[in-house]
Amino acid sequence: MSTTTTPTHVWRPSSSRRLVLDGFAPVPRGTLPAMPLQLSWPTKDPSDVLDYEFDIAAALIGNEGDSIAAVNVLVTPNGTGDLTLNSVAADGSLVVLWFAAGHAGTVYIVQITATTTIGRTVGRAMLLPVQTLASAVVPASALTTDQGAIITDQNGNPILLGS
């Protein structure tokens, strides 16, 4: 006997878009801590709807029972067609944000403030650049057919006039 069932999928956020809280490492006496680098997620296409993560585990070291209780997110700029925050979730020390839309050529600032169950508050600003990635920009010197189709070589690269 054969039975077909729809499997239940376990969703896990993609670690390829995870930023980890920095600046909590101890430094030797008599030295100054280095300024942490600006946190920046990989570039997003305006048509992408993807999960992005922020891990605050470094702020919770020594208090293994502490976890995120509330998250506040502010995205700037925030006009019509700009980056849209679809949802926010928390899992232990991980904030998971789903973003959509955005204007190509804009670098968005995502300000996240996470409050933990025992009262810690961690705030950071991250950058999320948006660029058109889904379609290639074809040079104006590309050879085309009478119908406007681009002529390519055996590797799919456009053949350029004058080359």
Confidence of residue 7 (pLDDT cuts 50, 70, 90): low
pLDDT of residue 147: 82
What pLDDT sits at residue 149?
80
Mean pLDDT, rounded, for 81-93: 95
Nearest to 52 by CA among 22, 10, 86: 86
Q: Which of 5-9, 17-21, 148-152 has the highest mean pLDDT?
A: 17-21
Confidence of residue 80 (pLDDT cuts 50, 70, 90): very high
What confidence score (pLDDT) does residue 1 get?
Answer: 62
DSSP labels, 72-136: EEEEES-STTS-EEEEEEEETTEEEEEEE---TTEEEEEEEEEEETTS-EEEEEEEEEE---SSP
Is the pLDDT assigned to residue 25 strictly greater than 80? Answer: no
Beta bridge mates, 121: 115
pLDDT at position 5 over 90: no
Global confidence as pTM: 0.74
Confidence at 37, pLDDT banded by 50, 70, 90: confident
Top pLDDT among 130 and 36 is at 130
Provide, rounded to the nearest whole percent, the portion of the chain with pLDDT above 70. Answer: 88
Paired tokens of 95: 């904030």
- What's the pLDDT tens digit per position in 111-130? 999 999 999 999 999 999 99
Task: Please tell me the total number of residues recorded for the chain in this structure.
Answer: 163
- Express each pLDDT in 38-52 by its tens digit: 899 999 999 999 999
Closest CA to 120 of 76, 163, 57, 78: 57
